[in-house]
């Protein structure tokens, strides 16, 4: 009988809603406040989105069962350009987008027509995503839902932004930003196709004089100007003559376009062909010396200025291009100029002679300027010179300076003397805005920036990160790295939905700045939704009082026209739920949102309200590859729920990877999980809560193993190692259960339903955060009256963990394994099996050695000496071999097992095996099994095997 997932899931979802199980208000219990980054409603969610929210939901459900009062809310991020960009594409009738909306996401045609209005897009997908989240069974308190364009939210953002400005953390200045020339807006990761953060490189433009013109070339190594011997120009490029502020420049068309955004006034004066420049000379301004312009095909118009300065002693590309040109047919006049060029060596580096570029080209066996090996050669020379090189005598006043330090000094000197300028270029080109336009770097003048470069601010954030629990631990260094490089960041946009800057209404607070402290807003949004709080009359005093405990209720009451009691109730709600106990997000938000979240919290809230934990997860792959529209492998979440059920999807996502790994989702794992759950479900139907009779050895063992599972699963979830936890519940425990069933069958027992009922109730309870719907159904079938999602998390009890039961059962298992192995190796058909257990003296010595090893003593000599010194164990001198082997036995086992062995009492191995092995062994090997202690007087020991017996390692004779 197959499970009808949809039916079961609908049934339990309605019950949760009916019972208001996930609506959370302050009470006397301890709280946990779990949040996830709210979604942008610009498309429906796919399986990949489901991961972060599912992980957070498991976390919330786990804490709820542990007795915490858990707040798990959700909202929708309308602010920002993604939605705006989409509206523009709909307006432009973008075929690809409209096809996706229609065919992939099933958006009705009438709705698509309305999508030219951004808020219509947001509203549509808001509902779509919310429905999907409900269908996934997320235990969200929907009474607190909001969008970031709600009027009260805008008041809240105004308050936040004003505080930052008062604290001088929002500043006005000129800084470079990624920029969409079409939208006339700064762009960051969320605004670009493929979610790339625009990153830029600063080049130094070295100015060379050519008649009345300046020919600039871009370099990252300004120190090499002392070694310039010629310029490279591409004869095929048509260059632009432009006026830059008050100078006349010649640059490629692309370069002229980039300069327009860099705070320079550009006018276009005319054109000149590259070929016209070949053979002409330019002056190196700082040393009034002429050098020639030579043709080179490797020069690209899109990089730098479209012209390159040539430093053949230190740049392998330049050296090789010069070698190449010497081999070509040139006009006599040019050929004579070329023949006179000799590289100028300006850097002394250990391991290199006069011409490092030449040495590297020869070492790598470069053939011509198109040889890819040139890249490696360049990397090597640059690296060695940067870290180990010193400038030579011919660099005049810079002589003797290390290259690593010279760079900035020479750059400043050049710019001061107007021999150079700056060119900013996107590093990871092309970066496309979501509107389709290619992004550039723009220097924004007199604009509003969050001063993330501020040293004190960074220090507070670092302190917060240090105190925080960051899961997984290994991601912590990434946050430190981000804090290190972070600098000023534009916090306003000219277009898009959102809150206006309170002091400059032409600007809108951008989406990564209005989404950093909104978790606090969840504590008041309940009162907004029930109309207790309205935007009218909301003031700074209100927010100051609620969130910062400043001012007094009567004053706030007067201003807001709310009663002082209501205001205090709202404040209590905040004080109860804050700080955030856990913030969940995908790894792509580490360098922006998650870091800004911490920075803004430390700037605005007192330390007692700083966030406590961040949980970061990797992304989801589909059959091993990245999910993308172009790959056509996106599965919308709601469609997947329809096809497979929410629980199988939740389980398949979690079981496929630990936190930071990318989860590989595939349909085989979904159906594998479905089968697994189905068999557990059918078992739950069969089991009855019968009275448990007196316990036998295997019962004590399986109940103890259940306790170990509880302890392991709990510890794993606390560290958000959900894959491991789920694996323990569903799979690892299964092998214990099947051993138990084998034992029970060997004894023909029928009175075990009560025990299995107890064990499976524990499993189902622990499964419930992961697969909440089916767990409720199983729980009901197990005849529990209340809901599993509001039941108590199984508590680990040391009392019910019987170390001796575990050890004796392990002895039984390993004895059977040993016999099977011997039979397999020797291929004997046994007539008779005899087992010899160690005597009580060895057992005493064993425990004594175990105690010593556990405290760290593993030295054979010392252990032996101590044993001999004790009268109880002094006889070991007769069996030194035994001591050595026992130390080895113990060391080969994991620490936990050593601990359980220490906890377990000494038990009589012989009588245990006589009772438990004889029946089971007969079934297993179809032959009589006899058990002796090595000191038995009536022992049968024809081969003298008995003396080899050690505790937990009986000797075996097979005949």
- CB nearer Zn ion, residue 143 or residue 495: 495
Strands (E), 387-439: 389-391, 420-426
User: Which among 387, 381, 279 has a CA at the least distance from the CA of 320?
Assistant: 381
Region 357-396 residues binding Zn ion, contact defined as CB under 5 A:
none
Going from the C-alpha of 95 to that of each of 112, 116, 706, the distances in angstroms are 12, 14, 58
Stretch that binds Zn ion, among 266-274, 401-409, 426-434, 762-770 (CB under 5 A): 426-434
Nearer to Zn ion, 90 or 646 (CB): 90
**With contact defined as beta carbons under 8 Å apart, do 439 and 432 qualify?**
yes
Contact 219, 108 (CB under 8 A): no
439 binds Zn ion, rule: CB under 5 A: no
CB of 191 to Zn ion, least distance (A): 7
Largest separation between any pair of C-alpha atoms in the chain:
116
Which of 119/437 has CB closer to Zn ion? 437
171 to 200, contacts with Zn ion by CB under 5 A?
Answer: 180, 182-183
Between 260 and 658, whose beta carbon lies closer to Zn ion? 260
Minimum distance, C-beta of residue 84 to Zn ion, in the bound complex (Å): 9
Q: How many CB atoms lie within 10 A of CB 480?
A: 12
| Window contacting Zn ion (CB under 5 A); options: 223-231, 434-442, 742-750, 782-790 | 434-442
CB of 520 to Zn ion, least distance (A): 32
Main-chain phi, psi angles of 266, to 5 degrees: -115, 130
Distances, alpha carbon 766 to alpha carbons 63, 72, 713, 779, 868, in Å: 12, 19, 8, 11, 50
For 147, phi then psi, to 5°, come to -120, 160
Which is nearer to Zn ion, 337 or 493 (by Cβ)? 493
* Smaller CB separation from Zn ion, 139 or 192: 192
Q: Give min distance, CB of 183 to Zn ion, in A.
A: 4
Is the CB of 497 or the CB of 657 nearer to Zn ion?
A: 497
Cα separations in angstroms, 250 against 234, 285, 291, 305: 13, 16, 17, 8
Stretch of residues binding Zn ion (CB under 5 A), selected from 61-69, 299-307, 427-435, 881-889? 427-435
The residue from 435, 508, 767, 778 that contacts Zn ion (CB under 5 A) is 435
Are 149 and 498 in contact by the 8 Å Cβ rule? The answer is: yes
Tell whether residue 510 is a contact of Zn ion (CB under 5 A). Answer: no
3-state secondary structure labels for all residues of 728-741: HHHHHHHHHHHHHH
Q: How far is the CB of 149 from Zn ion (least distance, A)?
A: 20
At its nearest, how many Å lie between Zn ion and the CB of residue 96?
Answer: 16
Per CB under 5 A, 170 contacts Zn ion: no
Q: Closest CB to Zn ion among 13 and 89?
A: 89
Residue 558 sits at φ, ψ, to 5 deg, of -60, -45
Shortest gap between Cβ of 383 and Zn ion (angstroms)? 37
Distance CA(295)–CA(480), nearest Å, equals: 47
Of 521, 525, 458, 523, the closest CA to residue 488 belongs to 458
Pairing of strands 185-186, 170-180: antiparallel
Residue 437 in the binding site for Zn ion (CB under 5 A): yes
Q: Is 88 or 705 the residue whose CB approaches Zn ion more closely?
A: 88
Residues 938-957 that bind Zn ion (CB under 5 A): none
Task: Please provide residue 431's backbone torsions phi and psi, each rounded to the nearest 5 degrees.
Answer: -105, 120
Of 271, 272, 290, 273, the closest CA to residue 282 belongs to 290
Q: Which is nearer to Zn ion, 69 or 447 (CB)?
A: 447
User: CB 46 → Zn ion: shortest distance, Å?
Assistant: 24
Which of 3, 431 has the CB closer to Zn ion? 431
Residues composing the chain: 959
Query: By three-state DSSP, how is residue 149 classified?
Result: coil
- The candidate with the shortest Cα–Cα distance to 444, out of 631, 673, 702, 173, is 173
Residue 377 has, within 13 A of its CA and on its CB side, a CA count of 29
Regarding 433 and contact with Zn ion (CB under 5 A), the answer is yes
Q: Provide the H-helix boundaries in 393-539.
A: 403-416, 455-467, 476-485, 522-529
Least separation in angstroms between CB 468 and Zn ion = 36
Give me Rg for the CA atoms of the chain.
Answer: 37
Task: Give the range of 322-330, 341-349, 437-445, 664-672 binding Zn ion by CB under 5 A.
Answer: 437-445
> Nearer Cβ to Zn ion, position 435 or 634?
435
Total residues binding Zn ion (CB under 5 A): 6
Structure tokens at 446: 């007199």
Cβ closest to Zn ion, residue 493 vs residue 526: 493
**Within 10 Å of residue 659's Cβ, how many Cβ atoms?**
21
Q: How far is the CB of 182 from Zn ion (least distance, A)?
A: 5
Query: In the numeric block, which tokens belong to residue 333?
Result: 């006049």
Cβ(231)–Cβ(294) under 8 Å? yes
Give least dist CB 381 to Zn ion, A.
40
How many Cβ atoms sit within 10 Å of the Cβ of residue 606? 12
**152 versus 435: smaller Cβ distance to Zn ion:** 435
Q: Which phi and psi angles does 132 have, rounded to 5°?
A: -60, -40
Kindly indicate which of the ranges 430-438, 759-767, 869-877, 889-897 contains the residues binding Zn ion, using the contact rule CB under 5 A: 430-438
Dig out the tokens for 236 from the structure.
């095929």
User: In the bound complex, what is the minimum distance in angstroms from residue 92's beta carbon to Zn ion?
Assistant: 12
Q: How far is the CB of 769 from Zn ion (least distance, A)?
A: 42
Q: Which residue lies nearer to Zn ion by CB, 182 or 629? A: 182
**CB closer to Zn ion, 437 vs 590:** 437
Rounded to the nearest whole angstrom, what is the least distance from the CB of residue 6 to Zn ion in the complex?
41
Min dist. Cβ of residue 213 to Zn ion (A)? 34
User: Angle at CA 117, nearest 5°, toward 114 and 118?
Assistant: 120
Q: Among 359, 296, 353, which Cα is nearest to 326's?
A: 296
Least distance (Å) from Zn ion to the CB of residue 116? 16
Q: What whole-number distance in Å separates Cα of residue 468 and Cα of residue 543?
A: 26
Distance of CA 93 to the CA centre of its chain: 36
Q: Interface residues with Zn ion (CB under 5 A)? A: 180, 182-183, 433, 435, 437
């Amino acid at each position: 009988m197959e499970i009808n997932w949809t039916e079961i899931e609908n049934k339990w979802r309605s019950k949760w809603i009916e019972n208001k199980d996930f609506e959370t208000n302050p009470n006397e219990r301890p709280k946990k406040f779990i949040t996830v980054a709210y979604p942008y409603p610009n498309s429906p969610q796919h399986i990949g989105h489901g991961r972060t929210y599912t992980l957070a939901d498991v976390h919330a459900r786990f804490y709820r069962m542990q007795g915490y009062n858990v707040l798990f809310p959700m909202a929708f991020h309308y602010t920002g350009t993604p939605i705006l960009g989409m509206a523009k594409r709909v307006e432009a009738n973008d075929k690809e987008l409209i096809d996706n909306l229609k065919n992939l996401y099933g958006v009705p045609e009438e709705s698509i027509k309305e999508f030219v209005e951004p808020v219509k897009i947001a509203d549509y997908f808001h509902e779509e995503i919310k429905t999907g989240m409900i269908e996934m069974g997320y235990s969200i308190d929907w009474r607190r839902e909001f969008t970031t364009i709600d009027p009260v939210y805008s008041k809240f953002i105004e308050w936040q932004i004003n505080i930052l400005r008062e604290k001088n953390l929002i500043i006005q200045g000129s800084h470079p930003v990624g920029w969409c020339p079409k939208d006339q807006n700064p762009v960051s990761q969320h605004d670009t196709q493929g979610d790339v953060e625009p990153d830029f490189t600063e080049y130094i433009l070295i100015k060379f004089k050519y008649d009345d013109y300046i020919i600039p070339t871009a370099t990252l190594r300004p120190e090499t100007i002392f070694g310039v011997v010629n310029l490279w120009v591409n004869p095929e490029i048509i260059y632009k003559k432009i006026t830059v502020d008050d100078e006349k420049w010649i640059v490629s068309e692309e370069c002229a376009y980039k300069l327009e955004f860099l705070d320079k006034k550009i006018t276009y004066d005319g054109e000149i062909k590259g070929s016209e420049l070949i053979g002409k000379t330019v002056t190196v301004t700082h040393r009034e010396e002429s050098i020639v312009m030579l043709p080179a095909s490797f020069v690209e118009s899109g990089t730098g200025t479209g012209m390159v300065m040539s430093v053949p002693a230190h740049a392998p590309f330049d050296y090789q291009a010069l070698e190449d040109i010497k081999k070509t047919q040139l006009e006599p006049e040019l050929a004579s100029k070329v023949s006179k060029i000799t590289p100028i060596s300006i850097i002394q580096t250990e391991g290199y002679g006069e011409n490092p570029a030449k040495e590297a080209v020869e070492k790598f066996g470069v053939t011509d300027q198109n040889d890819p090996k040139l890249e490696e050669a360049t990397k090597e020379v640059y690296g060695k010179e940067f870290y180990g090189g010193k400038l030579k005598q011919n660099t005049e006043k810079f002589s003797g300076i290390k290259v690593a330090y010279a760079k900035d000094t020479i750059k400043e000197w050049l710019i001061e003397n107007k021999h150079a300028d700056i060119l900013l270029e996107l590093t990871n080109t092309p970066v496309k805005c979501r509107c389709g336009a290619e992004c550039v770097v723009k220097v924004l003048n007199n604009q509003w920036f969050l001063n993330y470069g501020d040293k004190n601010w960074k220090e507070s954030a670092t302190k917060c990160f240090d105190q925080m629990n960051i899961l997984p631990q290994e991601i912590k260094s990434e946050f430190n790295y981000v804090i290190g490089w972070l600098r000023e960041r534009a916090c306003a946009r000219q277009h898009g939905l959102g809150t206006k800057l309170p002091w400059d209404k032409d600007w809108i607070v951008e989406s990564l700045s209005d989404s950093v402290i909104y978790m606090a807003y969840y504590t008041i949004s309940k009162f907004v939704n029930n109309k207790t709080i309205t935007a009218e009359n909301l003031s700074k005093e209100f927010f100051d009082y609620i969130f910062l405990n400043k001012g007094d209720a009567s004053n706030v009451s007067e201003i807001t026209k709310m009663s002082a009691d209501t205001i205090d109730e709202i404040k209590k709600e905040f004080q109860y739920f804050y700080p955030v106990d856990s913030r969940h997000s995908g790894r792509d938000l580490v360098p922006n949102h998650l870091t800004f979240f911490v920075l803004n919290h430390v700037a605005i809230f007192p330390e007692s309200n700083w966030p406590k934990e961040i949980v970061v997860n990797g992304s989801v792959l589909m059959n091993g590859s990245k999910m993308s529209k172009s790959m056509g492998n996106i599965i919308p979440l709601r469609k997947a729920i329809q096809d497979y059920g929410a629980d199988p999807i939740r389980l398949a996502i979690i079981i496929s990877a630990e936190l930071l790994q990318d989860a590989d989702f595939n349909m085989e794992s979904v159906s594998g999980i479905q089968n697994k759950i189905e068999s557990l479900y059918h078992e739950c139907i069969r089991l009855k809560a019968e009275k448990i009779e007196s316990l036998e050895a295997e019962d004590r063992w399986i109940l103890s193993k259940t306790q170990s599972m509880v302890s392991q699963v709990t510890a794993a979830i606390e560290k958000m190692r959900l894959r491991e936890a789920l694996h323990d519940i569903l799979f690892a425990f299964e092998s214990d259960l099947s051993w138990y069933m084998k034992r029970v069958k060997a004894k023909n027992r029928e009175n075990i339903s009560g025990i299995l009922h107890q064990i499976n109730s524990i499993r189902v309870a622990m499964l419930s955060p992961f697969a909440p719907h089916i767990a409720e159904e199983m729980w009901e079938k197990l005849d529990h009256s209340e809901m599993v999602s509001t039941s108590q998390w199984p508590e680990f009890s040391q009392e019910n963990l019987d170390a001796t039961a575990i050890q004796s059962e392990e002895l039984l298992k390993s004895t059977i394994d040993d016999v099977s192995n011997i039979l397999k190796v020797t291929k004997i058909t046994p007539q008779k099996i005899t087992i010899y257990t160690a005597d009580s003296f060895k057992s005493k010595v064993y425990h004594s050695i175990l105690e010593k090893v556990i405290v760290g003593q593993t030295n054979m000599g010392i252990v032996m000496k101590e044993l001999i010194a004790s009268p109880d164990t002094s006889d070991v001198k007769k069996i030194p071999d035994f001591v050595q082997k026992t130390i080895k036995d113990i060391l080969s086992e994991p620490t936990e097992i050593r601990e359980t062995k220490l906890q377990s009492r000494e038990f009589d191995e012989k009588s245990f095996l006589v009772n438990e092995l004889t029946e089971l062994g007969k079934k297993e090997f179809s032959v009589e099994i006899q058990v002796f202690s090595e000191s038995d007087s009536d022992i049968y020991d024809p081969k003298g095997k008995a003396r080899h017996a050690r505790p937990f390692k009986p000797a075996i004779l097979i005949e």
